Structure 1
C-alpha cells in the first residue's frame, strides 16, 4: 500500500526531508523522516529516482497532495543544463512505503 494511505501530517522539511506520522499495524502512529536527497536527483531538468541531491540544484521545491487519491507530489524547478528552467514533479508514493511506522525507500525500477 502506498505510504500516504497510512500516514498523517505529511510534510516537507528543509526542501528535502519527507516527514509524516505513519500508522503501524497495531494502530499507533510513529513520527518518521526520510531524506529524499539520498534517493532523488535531477537530470536534464527532471526529478529522477535512484540519484542523489536533487535539492542542491532545485528551486521552489514543494510537496502537494493531489488527485482523487491525494497522492504526494514533489514539485521543483530545475535547470536542464542548457540554461532553461523546467518545472517537474515526482509521485513519492511510487517508491516510498510505510514499513511498520517508518518511511522507507523501496527500489521501484
Structure 2
C-alpha cells in the first residue's frame, strides 16, 4: 500500500478519547492491521483553528466528533476550539490531507520547514 488517504483503505475507523484515531488498515499484501495514531501529536489549536504540526488540540476542544463524509469518503474531525479570548470556534479538518496508510500503519507527513518534511509512522 503506497501513501494514500488512509480512509480509502481502512475499516472499523473510530475516534477514542477524543484524540486517538484507530482503524484496521489494509497492508500491501491485502491483509488487515490494527493501527492507531494520537492526533494530539499531529494537530494543535492555533487561536481557535485546527493546526497541522501542532500538539494537544484536544486540551482546548469540546464536542469532538469524527465522521467519514461525502461521496469521496473524506475523514473529517470536528470540534469546538477555544480561541485566545476564550471564545468557542466550531471547526473541522480533513484528516486525509496529511494522514495516510503506509502498508497497514498510520503515516503522518509533518512539515518542519518550508520545502522540508519529516515522516512519522505510528
| TM over 0.5, shorter chain | yes
Q: Which of 50, 54, 59 is 1:51 aligned to?
A: 54
- Unaligned segments of structure 2, at least 5 residues: 115-122
Structure 2 counterparts to residues 20-35 of structure 1, below 5 A: 20-35=23-38
Alpha-carbon deviations, 1:43-88, whole Å to 9, x = none?
1111110000001110100101112111010000011112321100
CA RMSD across the alignment? 1.2
Q: TM-score, normalised by structure 2?
A: 0.85
Match of 2:117 in 1: none
Distance in structure 2 (CA, Å) of the matches to 1:77 and 1:59: 5
Distance in structure 2 (CA, Å) of the matches to 1:106 and 1:83: 30
- Unaligned segments of structure 1, at least 5 residues: none
Distance in structure 1 (CA, Å) of the matches to 2:82 and 2:57: 11
Distance in structure 2 (CA, Å) of the matches to 1:53 and 1:83: 16
Structure 2 counterparts to residues 84-95 of structure 1, below 5 A: 84-95=87-98
The reply to whether residue 83 of structure 1 matches residue 55 of structure 2 is: no
Aligned length: 109
Q: Which of 1, 11, 16 is 1:13 aligned to?
A: 16
Give the Å deviation of 1:101.
0.4
Q: TM-score, normalised by structure 1?
A: 0.95
Which aligned segments of 4 or more residues in structure 1 are displaced greater than 6 angstroms?
Answer: none
